[in-house]
Chain A
Amino acid sequence: MTSATILDAKTAHIASCSRRNRATRYGIYLAIFLVVAWSVDVLIIKDTDWARLGNGTVGRTVMQFLNVDFSIVPDLLWPAWETLLMATLATLLGLVLAIPVAWLGAYNITPLGRFSYSIGRVLMTLSRSVHEIVWALIFVSAVGLGAMAGILAMAIRSIGFVSKTVSEAIEDIDYGPVEALMAAGANRFQILLYAVVPQVIPVFLGNAIFEWDINIRRSTIMGLVGAGGLGFSLFRQMAQFNYGGITTVVLAVLVLILFGEIVSRYARKAII
């Protein structure tokens, strides 16, 4: 039925299609590369004082950092625990607050159409745009110094990430179960509960754990508002120029996050 020439023509056509696709793709890569080159030129090549980097001080400073000071480890135990508590509270609070925001901000289930969708999106953007340092300062005015301001600041930041990822997960759930429940005459809330929630729970919990470890990291700068924890320890080491001590505190944070990874591995197995 089909002659060899038609086949050849089609083959050539497909080859040219992929070539055209490739051309646009390479165009995009080139554009990315050019902007990178420009930025490298302005920010790095022109800005950096290479002579100063070349005179060996870099190596010396790095060596100072590598000279880890383990003598301060006992002083880090309680702050590490405080950090863990703070991060946990902040994450829990953030998750609770993120659920309604995610619900508003997912276009396929938002309750009032464009209106509530926009509210959800604005909340997400706001929470993520403002850095936790600024949030912390704001909450110092509202609740005073101490761990609470730090926890609130971290929780607000958590909302943005969790609600965004969860609402995206909601937007690309498998529609089959939703249809099955629709066909059974379930109402919107029931569909949400039975077809949407089970599908996004892995994402939600996965991100909860991710957010928890981001919050451990964040809590290390919450010393700014008197929240204590490893952040304060870090500041002490910096103030005393104990480079080795700084490394120790950073390692302590790493240990906490490693602990988070192990917990998350187990949690994931149990849930998913």
Chain B
Amino acid sequence: MDVQENAYNKRTAAPTQPDATWRRFKYPQSLYRYCALLLVLAFLAYAIQALNIDLARLSGFFGRLGELFSQRYYPPDLDYIMRPKYLHSVIETLQMSYLAAVLGIVISVPVSWLASYNMSPWKRVGYPLARLFIMGCRSVHEMIWTILLVAILGYGFLPGVLALTLFCIGFTGKLFSEAIEKIKRGPVEAVRATGAGELSVFVYAVLPQVRVAWAGISVYTWDVVFRAATVVGFFGAGGMGWYLRESMQLTALHDVAAILLSIIIVVIISEVLSAWVRKRVARAMA
């Protein structure tokens, strides 16, 4: 600090003596913070103990993992995934996830509007119902949805697609409604001030603000649904999950590796594609 700066400090500090005891966290808060920290640590210790987690097993973790991948998963059995039957199941999986994602997203638009705290047009009844619906969809794992729906509807793609649709609503509905909850209030107020109805407010003040976020979430959702679709076949709901289960059961890890590889390839292709689509969509929406 140079001389000038000190001089300035003195001069500005001179007229009044500001409270020299200012603290970022005043007394009770500071205590609460330490208590909270302590509680978190105690909870961690308790949880580890209650779940019988033996941390000693982590020693040599990466070595074992490396060995596992280099010896048992590598090399992936590429012939396995090049069989037409398998490739056909990949197409089916893609179709299933596509269909479920489109259905789920279409259903999610009105549901998430109802389920957004700030913009719900029907707060008393619609809001809690929509929330509960989204939560119900989300509380059941996609594999369990599959098992349940297979039990009800029998084997085939129908229970698979439905399970994925429900899964998709649980996921998208929540993200969509959260995107709505984050919008700026200004434009909403401006549109409301013109005397527009709730639907117009949604179309003009909400949609333009969430459009890009929603497009992103939708593409991402498809991604997530696709990954989920790779396992609904475990329980007879169609797609490549069947092959994954078979090779896992047979501990044919080279096949498992190959299947994972094929999933990753599809995902990467879809990611490149979706980045491109998103760019196009963003431009088209501008």
CB-nearest residue of chain B relative to A222? B141
- Once the chains bind, are A134 and B50 in contact (CB under 8 Å)? no
| Contact A250 B244, CB 8 Å, known A39-B98, A43-B238, A89-B48 | no
A246 to B227, CA, bound (A): 25
- B215-234, CB < 8 A from A: 216, 220, 223-224, 227-228, 230-231, 234
CB-nearest residue of chain A relative to B48? A89
- Once the chains bind, are A250 and B227 in contact (CB under 8 Å)? no
CB-nearest residue of chain B relative to A48? B158
The verdict on A143 contacting chain B, using a C-beta distance below 8 Å, is yes
Q: How far is the CB of B124 from chain A (nearest CB, A)?
A: 18
| Contact A44 B264, CB 8 Å, known A24-B284, A141-B68, A246-B148 | no
Which A residues touch B216, using CB under 8 A? 168
- B123-180, CB < 8 A from A: 131, 135-136, 138-141, 143-144, 147-148, 151-154, 156-158, 160-161, 174-175, 178
The verdict on B87 contacting chain A, using a C-beta distance below 8 Å, is no
Which A residues touch B158, using CB under 8 A? 43-44, 47-48
A129 is contacted by which of B48, B138, B141, B227 (Cβ under 8 Å)? Answer: B227
A82 to B148, CA, bound (A): 23
The verdict on A14 contacting chain B, using a C-beta distance below 8 Å, is no
B interface SS class: helix
- Once the chains bind, are A53 and B153 in contact (CB under 8 Å)? yes
- Once the chains bind, are B65 and A142 in contact (CB under 8 Å)? yes
A257 to B156, CA, bound (A): 30
| Contact A130 B48, CB 8 Å, known A43-B96, A210-B174, A234-B144 | no
The verdict on A131 contacting chain B, using a C-beta distance below 8 Å, is yes
A213 to B147, CA, bound (A): 21
Interface centre among B47, B139, B158, B220 (most CB of A within 10 A): B139
Which A residues touch B147, using CB under 8 A? 238
Q: How far is the CB of B157 from chain A (nearest CB, A)?
A: 4
Q: How far is the CB of B250 from chain A (nearest CB, A)?
A: 12
The stretch from B4-12, B15-23, B54-62, B193-201 touching chain A is: B54-62
- Once the chains bind, are B152 and A62 in contact (CB under 8 Å)? yes
| Contact A254 B260, CB 8 Å, known A89-B51, A210-B174 | no
The verdict on B95 contacting chain A, using a C-beta distance below 8 Å, is yes
The verdict on B268 contacting chain A, using a C-beta distance below 8 Å, is yes
A88 is contacted by which of B47, B157, B227 (Cβ under 8 Å)? Answer: B47
Give a binary string over A162-176; 1 marks a CB under 8 Å from any B CB, 0 the rest.
001000100000000
The verdict on B70 contacting chain A, using a C-beta distance below 8 Å, is no
- Once the chains bind, are B141 and A44 in contact (CB under 8 Å)? no
- Once the chains bind, are B156 and A47 in contact (CB under 8 Å)? yes
The verdict on B267 contacting chain A, using a C-beta distance below 8 Å, is yes
- Once the chains bind, are B144 and A221 in contact (CB under 8 Å)? yes
- Once the chains bind, are A148 and B53 in contact (CB under 8 Å)? yes
The verdict on B279 contacting chain A, using a C-beta distance below 8 Å, is no
- Once the chains bind, are B178 and A144 in contact (CB under 8 Å)? no
Interface residues contributed by chain A, number (CB under 8 Å): 69
Which B residues touch A179, using CB under 8 A? none
- A99-158, CB < 8 A from B: 125-126, 128-131, 133-134, 137-138, 141-144, 146-148, 151
- Once the chains bind, are A164 and B220 in contact (CB under 8 Å)? yes
Which A residues touch B267, using CB under 8 A? 125, 128-129
- Once the chains bind, are A220 and B54 in contact (CB under 8 Å)? no
The verdict on A195 contacting chain B, using a C-beta distance below 8 Å, is no
- Once the chains bind, are B141 and A217 in contact (CB under 8 Å)? yes
| Contact A148 B54, CB 8 Å, known A32-B102, A43-B238, A217-B139 | yes
The verdict on B183 contacting chain A, using a C-beta distance below 8 Å, is no
Q: How far is the CB of B38 from chain A (nearest CB, A)?
A: 16
Interface centre among A35, A47, A206, A210 (most CB of B within 10 A): A47
The verdict on B39 contacting chain A, using a C-beta distance below 8 Å, is no
- A217-249, CB < 8 A from B: 217-218, 220-221, 228, 234, 238, 243, 246
Residue pairs across A and B with Cβ atoms less than 8 A apart, 28 shown, are A39-B95, A39-B96, A43-B95, A48-B158, A49-B156, A52-B154, A61-B151, A65-B148, A82-B50, A88-B47, A125-B271, A129-B227, A131-B227, A131-B228, A133-B231, A142-B64, A146-B51, A146-B52, A146-B53, A147-B53, A213-B138, A216-B139, A217-B139, A253-B140, A254-B135, A254-B136, A254-B139, A261-B131
The 9 A-B residue pairs whose C-beta atoms are closest, nearest first, are A43-B157, A147-B51, A39-B99, A254-B139, A85-B47, A39-B95, A257-B139, A48-B158, A253-B139
Other A-B contacts than A53-B154, A89-B51, 11 sampled, CB-CB below 8 A, are: A25-B284, A35-B98, A43-B160, A43-B161, A44-B158, A85-B51, A133-B231, A141-B72, A143-B61, A146-B52, A221-B141
Q: Residues of A with Cβ closer than 8 Å to B? A: 21, 24-25, 32, 35-36, 38-40, 42-44, 47-49, 52-53, 58, 61-62, 65, 81-82, 85-86, 88-89, 92, 125-126, 128-131, 133-134, 137-138, 141-144, 146-148, 151, 164, 168, 206, 210, 213-214, 216-218, 220-221, 228, 234, 238, 243, 246, 250, 253-254, 256-258, 261
